Amino acid sequence: MKWLLGIAVAVLALAAAGQSPLQRRVVKDVLDYFHSRSNVQYLFREQSVEGAIERVDSSGTFVQLRLNLAQTACRKQTQRRQNCRIMENRRKPACLACYKFDNSDVPKVLDKYYNCGPSHHLAVKEIKHRDEAECRAVEEAGKASDALYLPGMFAFSKGLPA
């Protein structure tokens, strides 16, 4: 049984090693979001990443990930999070995350969208269409059309004479 756990840890390490720094940042952000929800009592870990997309254009880098999470035996308040083992036959939510980063040396998030729930929940047609539309909007963030002047973008005030 221990060798099976060792193989699973090695596979997860290899999967994490194959991810770009932006993809690892998205995974961390999604896990932080998921753990911040009030109905989540236990820690979750990334079990697998399916469908990773990373596209670079003049406006920045778009990252889309489909994450499968697995519940661990540790409660959210646990100090030592590294030693939490994955519980079999427990909740295994799936998350869709779409992020748009700018092209700076330390990329800033221009826009983001994520949705986590039971894997069968994310397969529902209406939710899938909404997710696709939200991800398209995230991907368009920072493009030339956003650079136009829109009313309310700038505020001017008149100073009093000195």
Domains and CATH numbers, the chain: 21-144 (3.10.450.10)
By the 10 Å C-beta count (0-12 exposed, 13-18 middle, 19+ buried), 46 is classed as buried
- Which residue bears the tokens 């973008």? 153
| Nearest C-alpha neighbor of 26 from the set 61, 65, 55, 70 | 65
Q: Print pLDDT tens along the chain (162 aa).
A: 443 334 333 334 444 457 889 999 999 999 999 888 888 888 989 999 988 999 998 889 999 999 999 999 888 887 666 788 888 888 888 899 999 999 888 889 999 999 988 877 766 788 888 989 999 999 988 776 545 555 665 566 666 676
What's the predicted TM-score (pTM) here?
0.71
